[in-house]
Amino acid sequence: MWLTSYYNMAFLGSVGVVFVLFAPAVVGFFTNEPDVLRAGTYCLRIVSAGYLFYAFGMVVVQAFNGAGDTVTPTIVNFFCFWMFQIPFAYIVAHPLGIGANGVYVAIAAAESLMAVVGGIIFRRGRWKQQQI
């Protein structure tokens, strides 16, 4: 799991660098509307900045599934996405006034939180004692 997560981090980290550097060209491939191009470029750059954590978290959470523990990833995903990402996105978008960019930040933050929480739970190893 650790080796695979590092490989995935290298791959998605590379993709993230390309997306951050060439976001206008990537988004411009799909649209030429100035407002959509601007919003899409911000979105791609902000979300891509979280790809390293996303790459690690994706492997860790799927490792639980592969080991037969489907409860742990369900709980991690529920709390990281439903209980954290959605409220956080609303707070940074509206009350804090950041708008759509706040939603993009919430996506990267939730993916990062999932990676950290998943890594901690995996390292503790209690999932190994789960009865299948």
- The tens digit of pLDDT for each residue in 90-124 reads 999 999 999 999 999 999 999 999 999 999 999 99
End-to-end CA distance of the chain: 20
Comparing 75-79, 99-103, 109-113, 126-130, the range with the smallest average pLDDT is: 126-130
Question: Which band of pLDDT confidence, cut at 50, 70 and 90, is reported for residue 132?
Answer: low
Look-up: residue for tokens 């991690």? 76
CA angle in degrees (0–180, nearest 5) for 43-41-91? 30
- The tens digit of pLDDT for each residue in 9-24 reads 999 999 999 999 999 9
Q: What is the sign of the dihedral through the CA atoms of 50, 52, 58 and 64? A: negative
Whether the Cβ atoms of residue 47 and residue 109 lie closer than 8 Å to each other? no
Which of 119, 127, 114 lies closest to 50 in space, CA to CA?
114
How far is residue 100 CA from its own chain's centroid?
17
